[in-house]
Chain A
């Protein structure tokens, strides 16, 4: 089975939040005009993902999942609260974002100056809730795995937004056809970057699998 490190690398590259699942596209497109703001938002996403996913993991496994309540008393083993998971996850994300904002403002004003304006944006960033939902879907067996998945996803998102911001800064000097300017060309570039990222799906994970690199890279050229 996958090791913690595998999960981490996989979350950054082959299961990149932006290029493989398009999560967090709204802020990705809106805040990628300059590299500086992109770095700020990217860092905030890494931070919030790494904090919220483990919390949601505990919530899922000790409260919501079918039979999760059995640690209180065996008679609760039949209770399945998983239908509440969406609402719980989003509430956790929203309140943690709020909490983090207050804590950072109080104790690290410099960091708040850098991240502050991005934090409220993040509550409705799909990649944060997406992280929680993927965690639930894939049922990671330890909290360590879930955290490394969250951290990796955050880094993947960071890489994606910083890369597109750098490209957008440069593309301003290029002659893009009028109707494609701005949004249109950003979509197409993101698509091309996604195709490039697909080649990462050939990375070999785990020990037991035979090398398959060349075979999978070929499929994207087809």
Chain B
């Protein structure tokens, strides 16, 4: 795990040292929070029907994670250990409320679609997991890097799943028609040849199956990740 490596870091380290870079790049691939650490799946899957929602959700989590990691890391020597968990929860909840209020004010359409899933960022295990495992024991700067890495890893996976589901389920990407117009009676493009959108892709269970396949591909490429039952 990348967490242990940073604890012993020298004070004069440059801002973008190898270790710090590793904090960002590791979670993108071999230590992805979703496919490897199995964190934060709850809210991830239900909203990946469209790329736009995936982008907004990923952005929201990234925002909460960076600020939260920073705040917790700054307060790490002040927080009484007995109420540690609840302090972390309060920080996350406050940040999520901020995100929710901002979304409601400036992106009302997206906020309506995400409905309760914005609130569920609070219990997104990635956030609490990173607070507990990293920010409580590390200085602010590495904590931010760690947050960026994990947030991007999460957002990346969300968007990847959303691309598959939107492209094959609705024939669009980010709302733009890729295969032509699918409306009955006015088909264009591929649809004139008899191509039909796969409605299965839109149904929630397909998100799980796609993540399962992504895990399969990832672990086939990197044999060291394979589980021994």
Contacts and interface: CB of A to CB of B under 8 A. Distances in A.
Given A24-B42, A29-B41, A133-B116, A194 B216 contact: no
Interface of A: 19-26, 29-30, 83-87, 89-91, 94-95, 123-130, 133-134, 136-137, 172, 177-188, 190-195, 198, 219-220, 222
B188 interface: no
Contacts, number: 154
A187 B42 contact: no
Contacts of A90: 89, 92-93, 122-123
A126 to B, nearest CB: 4
Contacts of A89: 119
B42 A87 contact: no
16 contacts: A19-B204, A21-B204, A22-B207, A84-B97, A91-B90, A94-B85, A126-B42, A130-B123, A137-B115, A172-B229, A178-B226, A179-B223, A179-B226, A180-B212, A188-B212, A191-B205
B211 A187 contact: yes
Given A21-B46, A22-B41, 12 more contacts: A19-B204, A22-B204, A26-B39, A90-B122, A127-B42, A130-B120, A133-B116, A177-B216, A178-B226, A183-B227, A194-B203, A198-B203
B46 A22 contact: yes
B225 to A, nearest CB: 8
Nearest to B90: A87
A30 to B, nearest CB: 7
Interface string B118-138: 011011110010000000000
- Candidate in B115, B128, B209 with the most chain A CB atoms within 10 angstroms: B209
B229 A83 contact: no
A180 B213 CA distance: 8
Contacts of B207: 22, 191
A124 B125 contact: yes
B69 interface: no
Q: Which of A87, A124, A177, A195 has the most CB of B within 10 A?
A: A124
Interface string B195-229: 00001100111111101110111111001011111
List the 6 closest A-B pairs by CB distance, nearest first. A194-B205, A182-B227, A187-B212, A179-B219, A191-B208, A126-B42
Nearest to B37: A26
Given A87-B94, A187-B208, A134 B42 contact: no
Contact of B40 (A21, A26, A181): A26
A180 B205 CA distance: 18
B85 A123 contact: yes
Contacts of A180: 212, 215-216, 219
Nearest to B217: A179
A187 B92 CA distance: 28
Nearest to A197: B205
Contact of B229 (A137, A182, A187): A182
B38 interface: yes
A29 B34 CA distance: 12
B203 A129 contact: no
B45 interface: yes
Contact of A188 (B44, B123, B208): B208
A59 B39 CA distance: 30
Nearest to A183: B215
A90 B95 CA distance: 13
A25 B38 CA distance: 9
B96 interface: yes
Instruction: Select the residue from B39, B41, B92, B100 with max chain A CB neighbours within 10 A.
Output: B41
A177 B219 CA distance: 11
B229 A86 contact: no
A19, A128, A181, A193, most chain B CB atoms within 10 A: A181
Output the residue of B89, B123, B128 with the most chain A CB within 10 A. B123
Nearest to B221: A179
B43 interface: yes
A181 B137 CA distance: 33
A200 B4 CA distance: 47
Interface centre among B39, B125, B223 (most CB of A within 10 A): B125
B125 A179 contact: no
B125 A192 contact: no
